[in-house]
Amino acid sequence: IKNIRKYTVGIDKKVLLHNNKRVNYINFDNAASTPTLVPVLDKMNEFLEWYSNIHRGTGYKSKISTIAYEEAHDIVADFVGSDKNKNTVIFVKNTTEAINKLSYRFPLNKDDIVITTIMEHHSNDLPWRRKAKLLHTNICQDGRLDLEDLENKLKKYKGKVKLVTVTGASNVTGYINNIHYIASLAHRYGAKIMVDGAQLVPHRKVNMSGYKDDDYIDFLVFSAHKMYAPFGTGVLIGPKKFFQRGDPEYVGGGTIISVTQYNSYWADLPDKDEAGTPNIVGGIALAKVIKILNEIGMDNIKKHEKKLTEHIIKKLKEIPSVNIYSSINENIEDMVGVISFNVNGIPHNLLASVLAYEGGIGVRNGCFCAHPYIHKLLNLSSREISRLQKDLIMGNTKNIPGLVRVSFGMYNTIEEVNKFIKVLNLLVSNKKNMLKKYKYNKITG
Ligand code: PMP
């Protein structure tokens, strides 16, 4: 972990502050995307010399590209404990595409039920709305998933519920869901489970095969750009038997073994579901980053990020005007390093911008593509929600509710957390002046 910092691209870049001082940039926005690692970039550059389209080429470069790209699928499968005989790994663009693909491939009638949750990223909610009747599992007072509500829904609609789709970890509160318990529940009531692993896979060891007979994960999706590889590669894993049935949503080159003027036969998996020339370099990059994560050890990553999370929460709690939206106590084990908060009297958009202007600290603010969850966490009434929706549609973003989010990567340090707390304290204790200095404008707005 100590050395990983110097292998993280662009992480010690200096940025210019409002007062013309240059400081090291602090990136606390890893839940959005993580910086790439130098060995991953090196691997991509090395691979580009062997760059060639895969599969039917007979040339040396094409053979090497094909082997490397296919091997990348196996490396991904092993990383998340997926049984290579049972499951297929399909490379797509990102988590969003993976979920949309599954929603297309999943056989659902209009009156079938999919159960998602209130705490989902929109990418694990909207694709299902147009496919089936979608029910949302509630959250408890502390923002954690209400597992009793989930079981009640499964019981009540037994036979109708075909899929439970749930995030592995929240991109708002960092809460980790007990995906194996949820898998057992889903299977007990005859449904399958899909886990959105976008925020979980980069931070915890995931084991799709489970630990008991019935707690395996049927489908898993995640994105390479949240785990130290570049944009453009996402993963969808699921049973071969499932993807062998039905037609892929995109058809064309690569997806077939034979076409006549009148018919066609699908290729084996995963080719059937990876239409056209795939992102070969992206697949190589993901395989490389997985090798590095394995070398570091996911347990070491967990330990380090847990330390950062405990520290920041302890420090945030010492500032009276700060409200944290994850309840942390003995359950610190149940969260990844994603912490959302607000400061009384400082709008979230202003606060996030001022952290950048005064401290060179990159955070994120707003509703993080999880509007229903934020509405609940902020206890907004249905009246307030419809008012907010109207405002957003009218482009009036000045007073919209939201949170500020800090999210850690494995290269972040306690010193960075201390610097963040120092700047935050400065802002909080000079609230009046800060509000005057940075009054709402186009930049800070
Ligand atoms: N699910 C979760 C939990 C996420 O945090 C994100 C990214 N913020 C996504 C899905 C979507 O990922 P992508 O943008 O890579 O499709």
- Label residue 440 by pLDDT band (50, 70, 90): low
| Residue 392 pLDDT greater than 50, yes or no | yes
Exposed/middle/buried for residue 228 (C-beta within 10 Å: 0-12, 13-18, 19+)? buried
Decide: 293 in ligand 1 pocket, CB within 6 A: no
Residue 264 in tokens: 């066609």
Residue 379, domain member (yes or no): no
Rounded distance between C-alpha atoms, residue 263 and residue 138, angstroms: 47
Atom number, ligand 1, closest to the C-alpha of residue 98: 16
Give the phi and the psi of residue 66 in degrees, each rounded to 5: -60, -50
Would residue 140 show up in a list of annotated catalytic residues for this protein? no
| Closest listed residue to residue 383, CA positions, set 367, 391, 119 | 391
Rounded distance between C-alpha atoms, residue 199 and residue 410, angstroms: 13
Residue 147, domain member (yes or no): yes
Mean pLDDT to the nearest integer, 293-301: 96
Same domain assignment for residues 363 and 347: yes
Q: Choose one of 274, 295, 316: the last residue of a domain.
A: 295
Decide: 271 in ligand 1 pocket, CB within 6 A: no
Q: In Å, how far are 62, 91, 116, 235 from 275, measured between CA atoms?
A: 18, 10, 28, 14
Decide: 137 in ligand 1 pocket, CB within 6 A: no
Exposed/middle/buried for residue 114 (C-beta within 10 Å: 0-12, 13-18, 19+)? buried
Q: Which amino acid is at 275?
A: A
| Closest listed residue to residue 29, CA positions, set 373, 356, 426, 287 | 356
Cβ 160 vs Cβ 113: under 8 Å: yes
Decide: 309 in ligand 1 pocket, CB within 6 A: no
Q: What pLDDT shows up at residue 445?
A: 47
Same domain assignment for residues 228 and 303: no
Decide: 223 in ligand 1 pocket, CB within 6 A: yes
Q: In Å, how far are 1, 193, 363 from 5, measured between CA atoms?
A: 7, 36, 19
ipTM of the complex: 0.99
Q: Choose one of 275, 295, 315: the last residue of a domain.
A: 295
Decide: 95 in ligand 1 pocket, CB within 6 A: yes
Cα(102) to centroid(ligand 1), Å: 15
Same domain assignment for residues 307 and 285: no
Q: Other CB atoms closer than 10 Å to residue 238's CB: what's the count?
A: 28
Residue 372, domain member (yes or no): no
Same domain assignment for residues 215 and 160: yes
Minimal-distance CA residue to ligand 1 atom 4: 198
Same domain assignment for residues 176 and 238: yes
Atom number, ligand 1, closest to the C-alpha of residue 225: 15
Q: Give Rg (Cα) of the chain.
A: 23
**Residue 228 or residue 329, greater confidence:** 228
Same domain assignment for residues 350 and 407: yes
pLDDT digits (tens, 9 = 90+) for 97-119: 999 999 999 999 989 999 999 99
Q: Which of the listed residues 369, 371, 373, 408 should we mutate to test ligand 1's pocket, taking the one with most ligand atoms within 8 A of CB? A: 369
- From the list 99, 235, 369, 434, the catalytic residue is 369
Rounded distance between C-alpha atoms, residue 379 and residue 427, angstroms: 26
Decide: 171 in ligand 1 pocket, CB within 6 A: yes
Rounded distance between C-alpha atoms, residue 227 and residue 125, angstroms: 23
Q: Choose one of 263, 295, 327: the last residue of a domain.
A: 295
Same domain assignment for residues 350 and 282: no
- Label residue 436 by pLDDT band (50, 70, 90): confident
CATH number for the domain harbouring residue 362: 3.90.1150.10
Q: In Å, how far are 376, 383, 400, 445 from 387, measured between CA atoms?
A: 15, 6, 10, 20
Q: Domain residues for 131?
A: 41-295
pLDDT digits (tens, 9 = 90+) for 323-333: 999 887 666 77
Rounded distance between C-alpha atoms, residue 62 and residue 20, angstroms: 51
Rounded distance between C-alpha atoms, residue 386 and residue 429, angstroms: 34
Same domain assignment for residues 290 and 327: no
Mean pLDDT to the nearest integer, 198-210: 98
Rounded distance between C-alpha atoms, residue 96 and residue 430, angstroms: 41
What's the farthest any 2 CA atoms get from each other in the chain? 74
Is this prediction's pTM over 0.90?
yes
Atom number, ligand 1, closest to the C-alpha of residue 368: 8
Q: What pLDDT shows up at residue 229?
A: 97
Cα(372) to centroid(ligand 1), Å: 15
Q: Which of the listed residues 171, 173, 408 should we mutate to test ligand 1's pocket, taking the one with most ligand atoms within 8 A of CB? A: 171
Residue 195, domain member (yes or no): yes
Same domain assignment for residues 13 and 78: no
Decide: 96 in ligand 1 pocket, CB within 6 A: yes
Residue 393, domain member (yes or no): no
**Residue 434 or residue 276, greater confidence:** 276
In angstroms, how far is CA 141 from the centroid of its own chain? Answer: 23
Same domain assignment for residues 222 and 287: yes
Cα(123) to centroid(ligand 1), Å: 7
Q: Which amino acid is at 162?
A: K
Residue 445, domain member (yes or no): no
Residue 343, domain member (yes or no): yes
In terms of average pLDDT, the best of 40-54, 122-136, 317-331, 332-346 is 122-136
Exposed/middle/buried for residue 398 (C-beta within 10 Å: 0-12, 13-18, 19+)? exposed
Query: What's the whole-number average pLDDT of the chain?
Result: 94
Contacts of 214 (CB under 8 A, 6+ apart): 183, 184, 187, 188
Q: Which of the listed residues 122, 123, 407 should we mutate to test ligand 1's pocket, taking the one with most ligand atoms within 8 A of CB? A: 123
Q: What pLDDT shows up at residue 54?
A: 84
Q: What pLDDT shows up at residue 330?
A: 62
Indicate the number of domains in the chain: 2
Taking the CA atoms of 35, 123, 155 and 188 in sequence, report the sign of the dihedral they define: negative
Same domain assignment for residues 194 and 247: yes
Decide: 125 in ligand 1 pocket, CB within 6 A: no
Same domain assignment for residues 22 and 169: no
Atom number, ligand 1, closest to the C-alpha of residue 223: 15
Cα(174) to centroid(ligand 1), Å: 13
pLDDT digits (tens, 9 = 90+) for 146-196: 999 999 999 999 999 999 999 999 999 999 999 999 999 999 999 999 999
In angstroms, how far is CA 268 from the centroid of its own chain? Answer: 29
Percentage of the residues of the chain whose pLDDT score is greater than 70: 98
Atom number, ligand 1, closest to the C-alpha of residue 369: 8
Q: What pLDDT shows up at residue 325?
A: 94
| Closest listed residue to residue 92, CA positions, set 255, 261, 237 | 237
Residue 443, domain member (yes or no): no
Minimal-distance CA residue to ligand 1 atom 6: 198
Could you tell me how many residues make up the chain? 445
CATH number for the domain harbouring residue 68: 3.40.640.10
